[in-house]
Structure 1
Amino acid sequence: MQESSTKLRVEVDAHQNVTDLLVQRAADAPEHAAFDVPASSSGLWTQVTTAQFLADVRALAKGLIASGIGAGEAVAIMAPSRYEWAVADLAIWFAGGVVVPIYDTSSQVQVSAIVADADVRLAVAGSPGQAETLRSAFDETGAGTLGIWAMDAAATGSETGTLAKLTARGNHISDADLEHRRQSAGLDDTATIVYTSGTTGEPKGAVLTHRNFLGQVLNIAAAYREVVHSGGNTIIFLPLAHVLARGLQLICLASGMRIAHISDPKAVITNLSVLRPTFLVAVPRVLQKIRAAASAKAAGAGLTRVWDAASATAVEWGSYSEQHENADAAGASVSLRLRRTFYNALFFTRLRAVMGGRVDYILSGGAALEAELSLFFRGIGVPVIEGYGLTETTAPLAGNLPGNIRSGTVGLPLPGSTIRISDEGEILARGIGVFAGYRNPRHNDDAFVDGFFRTGDLGALDADGRLILRGRVKDVIVTSGGKTIVPMPWETSVEKSPLVSHAVMVGEGRSFLSALIILDPDETRDWALAAGFAIDEPQGADLARVVDARLRAHIQEVVNSANVRVARSEQVRKFTLISTDLGDSSLITPTLKIKRQVILERGADAVEDLYR
């Protein structure tokens, strides 16, 4: 049994609860810009100071108290990531409440289950559709007796008020009353109930305390001072319903790093040159798309061979930099330095400019990042810090550090955390960010062993104690011959292709392995058009089989390449191409992970055909 630990850097006992982070920052730097907020539809942005943000939070908190929210009572937020989400989040805590985030893409069934399970008293909505979904959930469950309050007037109806009206209700609440309520929650009281996205089963309500959040925020901020600092800024485009986005927001607030929210992923690229972030958080698929777009642009200019050489040079430079951390670049070979200088001028400078021109680091999480892709970004001058965590660990559990990055690993345990690998290869976790349990006691039956949380992920520790991800326990396949297969290495290799959104290996109880390969609709369409033909767009939630011979031949090369990288017993013999709606929240989680069981259920006929 392997184990690796990192000592706590910052104690949290001097704090009352999470709200102290904002109060202290406002006292230290009230006029420092805390947020970039869209000023209008023209694309202009305006800055909000820490003092103004604190004033907005306090005013809304008074309105919540006046509306009837009591200490320890639950308030739901269902909206895209935006400034008002941040205000509502902190305001609920200032009012002594418990935040229940709901993904803005959640289905009616999911929302009804959450508001009932968390006993939600009041909800904050974004769009009219979200307000209506919440209202239906309240009608169905009898929850939400204090109503729904909308961020925008457009989302209001006869039974929905605006946040402005809710805020106005609190005019008679004194500062002393608010301060009393703000301090009502202690470190071990519930701060939030976050429902897991449910890739393998029903969503579970993870109960996270103020101690969990404070421990993570203070210690991660201390470990990543080169990344998160008062001279930097970032864009949060992950849903704030995700614990990583909320944890990052708190770290930025406490450290003075300016935040902009963009909920539409398509709007991120156009705003990078305007906001010019110094730090970004992205899932591996986004990084794959950035590289693929650069490759396609080079191909359009007739520079494919030149780009391939540049890409190989970036990986080589990234590898050299990693092996000689903090060493003088003059130690590299003359050939490598000359090639890197040439391709930097030709490609890499422009690629960095697409990201705003000031990005020092990218944090990658949510799925395993292939080592070669990490080395590529490091080689172009934007190191990727890969990390790993779960809702139940209050986001990051392990992470690479600036000046200590090892591609192919997710780094060392973060301060205050211990990672253990069980005899079966499962990653077990204990530490400052690890929750005490789920809201529903029956979900805790198999969640812990010897005081460690069972993550459900497979992994190993290298000689230095860094964590290497291997896959999911529930994804393991046992063939009819008794061979145990972990699908992740093969699937990750296939997903390197821009045309492949997700690869799902199958073969449980079968004599050989096969796969459902889910195509990226945009990339596939563009590839086909470039080749002189068209492919039908996916319709609805069905899994449509794609049988085009030219496309299949192209993906066959991808499969062959992946097969070469794994043992013979782990190679896929047959596959089916699938086209589907990747915006379907019943199929894809908000962090772009595939719900494997749903895919296998909907694709049962396709799987059976692979074995006929």
Structure 2
Amino acid sequence: MRQYSGPAAPDPAVGGLADSVYDTAERSPALVQLDRWQEDGWRHVTALRFRDEVLGLAKGLLSHGIRYGDRVAVMSGTRYEWTLFDYALWSIGAIPVPVYPTSAAEQVRWILAETQAVACVVEHEDHAMTVGAVCDALTELTSIWQLDQDCVSTLTEDGRGLPDSLVHRQRLGVSPDSVATVIYTSGTTGRPKGCLLTHGNLAAEADALLSGWEQVVRDTGGGQPATLVLLPLAHVYGRVVQISAIRGGVRLGHHGELTTDSLLPALASFRPTFLHLVPYVLEKVYQRAREAAEESGKAELFGQAAEVAVEWAAAREQRAFGRGPGPSPALRLRHAAYDRLVYQRLRGVLGGRTRSVMCGGSTLGRELSLFFTGAGLAVYEGYGLTETSAAVTANPPGRAKAGTVGRPLPGAEVAIGEDGEVWARGPAVFAGYLNHSQDMFYEGWLATGDLGELDQDGYLTITGRKKELIVTSSGKNLAPSVLEERVRAHPLVSQCLVVGDNRPYVAALITLDPQALAHWLKANGRAQLDPWAALADEALHAEIQRGIAAANTTVSRAESIRAFRLLPREFGPEQGLLTPSLKLRRSAIVRHYADDIEELYGN
């Protein structure tokens, strides 16, 4: 079994996650701990004010009967109040249970019933109605609090008469081994399980990121580091971004929408110095930049700038590993010229101050990673699971290797089993599943279910999922995710699902990006066509076929895509076809499009 270990872990945490709020307020009361969006812009929240708000809400929760060890569900988008409830609950030893705001009533019932939640925080009336529809079956549930009805102020006022000492007594009883949260896995297959993550797990994860990537966090060009959490706080990645910022003195803002129209203005006004993103955001930023260049008659300039960025970043990468001299003088001159003409504008889209991006959740293509790095946004891709408290590997500062998910974090270890499965262990690995057997552990190692490879430098590459291997009727095995990623490199393609299990050949279901399709139709003199009626257009099919042919050059003929179907709408979480973290629910998609798949094989 091949394995690699990360650097030494930071000193283990003591106490609970809420302690950092009180410690920072005592040590640096004027530090801007968060920015809160209001109608007229961002408003600073100092460490002292945040501590006082957390303490006041914690007393309000106590006044309503919430006690040490109680589980309280939070069903909301990413917003300031979620962070406030997290730290108020942790202050009294209670356990927040995140629920995705898009969850169906049956999913909500399952999570609240299994966790025996005694209360639920919801964002608005629709969420309240979802919980209300199933509350008859929830015998433990006693309270529902609604954020848009200003439940924070009401709870704080209700607890005003309680002494602060009641909160501190509860808080001081929290240890690193205490359960901090129950996060349900996205459930790409089967019913999701509740992962028990301790205060020690989450603190170890946050401290490993803060210590191992300190130069990334502190690379601000002057001033306090700042990041905008764009990920769902119901997802472990978003939660760790929050905890790392609070523990590390990073100014934290919240923005819950990933649509381009909403995201770009938020980035421009907040001006983060670094970001944690999923690949989807980088893909959309690149795509919109390319389309804008084409519409302004600068497509050739953008294409040349992209090629130079990739070449420059690749040469720098080779030099970092002692395998090349780095960019040539001529390449450096071209890169400097395009920095003024193209790259500065691209960085401006992210607020103008962002220097680094940590990326995880799914696979980011090597070319795209090199492009952004070459454009002045250093990309550090990582890999992890809910069960590992988010990242267990990440590309280290100064030695990032595009196309991989990096080396183990400080204190973590990664190994590859005999069947190619990735195994992990370390202080951030979870305590187990709620009400389920712990048969995913082998001699202290967590079997992740992912397939991967470790290179000679200890860098991990994820090649697929064990349960998602496709076996054609001729007996050929292939991991679909790698081929899907290559098809998605085409600018028109939004999503790709490769099929072929027990079939004579491999085929694909493909969805198109609506904005990219509209742009293509206009550029090709077909603007009069309805975007989805255009799916039958021969020229469009030929364009997608070229993208598939390019992807097929990287695999054997037996693994290549022989047929494809363009679908009239993208896969979405609301259809149950994507997880909330935007991963494909393969079995659900196959069931939903069973007739289309049969037609691909002439049945």
Give 2:6's aligned residue.
6
Q: Aligned equivalents of 2:581 and 2:529: distance in 1? A: 27
Instruction: Rate the CA distance shift 1:536–1:114 in 2: closer, same or farther, 3 A.
Output: farther
Aligned-pair distance for 1:535?
6.0
1:141 counterpart letter in structure 2: L
> Would you say 1:137 and 2:134 are equivalent positions?
yes
1:358-377 superposed matches below 5 A: 358-377=353-372
Give 1:461's aligned residue.
454
> Would you say 1:495 and 2:494 are equivalent positions?
no
Aligned partner of 2:119 among 102, 113, 122: 122
Aligned-pair distance for 1:228?
2.4
Query: Is the partner of 1:26 in helix, strand or coil?
Result: helix
Aligned partner of 2:383 among 378, 388, 413: 388
Give 1:32's aligned residue.
31
Conserved in 2, the CA contact under 8 Å of 1:362 and 1:382? Answer: yes
What per-residue deviation string (whole Å, max 9, x for no partner) do you get for residues 543-584 of structure 1?
x99433232111111101100122222110001111225443
Aligned-pair distance for 1:325?
3.3
Q: Aligned equivalents of 2:492 and 2:358: distance in 1? A: 24
Give 1:431's aligned residue.
426
Which deviates the most, 363-372 or 132-141? 132-141
Give 1:541's aligned residue.
none
Q: Aligned equivalents of 2:284 and 2:242: distance in 1? A: 25
Aligned partner of 1:245 among 238, 261, 265: 238
> Would you say 1:603 and 2:593 are equivalent positions?
yes
Give 1:415's aligned residue.
410
Instruction: Rate the CA distance shift 1:550–1:100 in 2: closer, same or farther, 3 A.
Output: same
Conserved in 2, the CA contact under 8 Å of 1:514 and 1:574? Answer: yes
1:522 counterpart letter in structure 2: Q
Q: Aligned equivalents of 2:451 and 2:130: distance in 1? A: 37
What per-residue deviation string (whole Å, max 9, x for no partner) do you get for residues 80-138 of structure 1?
11111100011111121011001111111111111011111011111211122122232
What per-residue deviation string (whole Å, max 9, x for no partner) do you get for residues 361-406 of structure 1?
0111011111111110111111101000110000110001211211
Q: Aligned equivalents of 1:563 and 1:291: distance in 2? A: 23
> Would you say 1:477 and 2:470 are equivalent positions?
yes
Aligned partner of 1:591 among 581, 584, 588: 581
Q: Aligned equivalents of 1:358 and 1:16: distance in 2? A: 35
Give 2:46's aligned residue.
49
Query: Is the partner of 1:124 in helix, strand or coil?
Result: strand
Give 2:527's aligned residue.
533
1:109 counterpart letter in structure 2: E
Query: Is the partner of 1:265 in helix, strand or coil?
Result: coil
Query: Is the partner of 2:497 in helix, strand or coil?
Result: strand
Conserved in 2, the CA contact under 8 Å of 1:388 and 1:410? Answer: yes
> Would you say 1:22 and 2:21 are equivalent positions?
yes
Q: Aligned equivalents of 2:193 and 2:518: distance in 1? A: 37
Give 2:560's aligned residue.
571
Q: Aligned equivalents of 2:434 and 2:246: distance in 1? A: 28
1:64-79 superposed matches below 5 A: 64-79=61-76
> Would you say 1:200 and 2:189 are equivalent positions?
yes
What per-residue deviation string (whole Å, max 9, x for no partner) do you get for residues 289-316 of structure 1?
1111111111112222222111100000
What per-residue deviation string (whole Å, max 9, x for no partner) do you get for residues 423-463 of structure 1?
11011111111112110224x33x22222111111101110
Query: Is the partner of 1:136 in helix, strand or coil?
Result: helix
Query: Is the partner of 1:441 in helix, strand or coil?
Result: coil
1:194-593 superposed matches below 5 A: 194-229=183-218, 231-266=224-259, 267-325=262-320, 332-442=327-437, 444-445=438-439, 447-531=440-524, 532-533=526-527, 546-585=535-574, 586-593=576-583
Q: Aligned equivalents of 2:230 and 2:529: distance in 1? A: 30
1:83-162 superposed matches below 5 A: 83-145=80-142, 147-153=143-149, 162=151
Aligned-pair distance for 1:354?
1.3
Which deviates the most, 288-297 or 515-524? 515-524
Instruction: Rate the CA distance shift 1:393–1:343 in 2: closer, same or farther, 3 A.
Output: same
Aligned-pair distance for 1:214?
1.4
2:579 counterpart letter in structure 1: T
Q: Aligned equivalents of 2:29 and 2:381: distance in 1? A: 33
Instruction: Rate the CA distance shift 1:535–1:59 in 2: closer, same or farther, 3 A.
Output: farther
What per-residue deviation string (whole Å, max 9, x for no partner) do you get for residues 580-603 of structure 1?
254433112222111111111101
Query: Is the partner of 2:45 in helix, strand or coil?
Result: strand
Q: Aligned equivalents of 1:603 and 1:453: distance in 2? A: 34
Aligned-pair distance for 1:610?
0.9
Q: Aligned equivalents of 2:368 and 2:506: distance in 1? A: 26
2:169 counterpart letter in structure 1: H
Instruction: Rate the CA distance shift 1:8–1:138 in 2: closer, same or farther, 3 A.
Output: farther
Scaled by the length of structure 1, what TM-score is found?
0.93
Instruction: Rate the CA distance shift 1:537–1:87 in 2: closer, same or farther, 3 A.
Output: farther
Conserved in 2, the CA contact under 8 Å of 1:288 and 1:498? Answer: no
Which deviates the most, 523-532 or 357-366? 523-532
Aligned-pair distance for 1:331?
5.8
Q: Aligned equivalents of 2:133 and 2:424: distance in 1? A: 38
Aligned partner of 2:178 among 181, 184, 189: 189
Q: Aligned equivalents of 1:334 and 1:474: distance in 2? A: 48
Q: Aligned equivalents of 2:111 and 2:500: distance in 1? A: 34
Q: RMSD of the TM alignment (CA)?
A: 1.9
Scaled by the length of structure 2, what TM-score is found?
0.95
Matched pairs, number: 593
Q: Aligned equivalents of 1:274 and 1:163: distance in 2? A: 26
Conserved in 2, the CA contact under 8 Å of 1:288 and 1:496? Answer: no
1:130 counterpart letter in structure 2: H
1:156-175 superposed matches below 5 A: 162-175=151-164
Aligned-pair distance for 1:26?
1.9
Give 1:157's aligned residue.
none
Query: Is the partner of 1:178 in helix, strand or coil?
Result: helix
Query: Is the partner of 1:579 in helix, strand or coil?
Result: coil
1:607 counterpart letter in structure 2: I
1:357 counterpart letter in structure 2: G
1:375 counterpart letter in structure 2: L
Q: Aligned equivalents of 1:224 and 1:300: distance in 2? A: 38
Q: Aligned equivalents of 1:136 and 1:167: distance in 2? A: 28
Aligned-pair distance for 1:254?
1.1
2:340 counterpart letter in structure 1: A
Conserved in 2, the CA contact under 8 Å of 1:63 and 1:169? Answer: yes
Conserved in 2, the CA contact under 8 Å of 1:71 and 1:97? Answer: yes
Aligned-pair distance for 1:338?
1.9
Q: Aligned equivalents of 2:564 and 2:534: distance in 1? A: 11
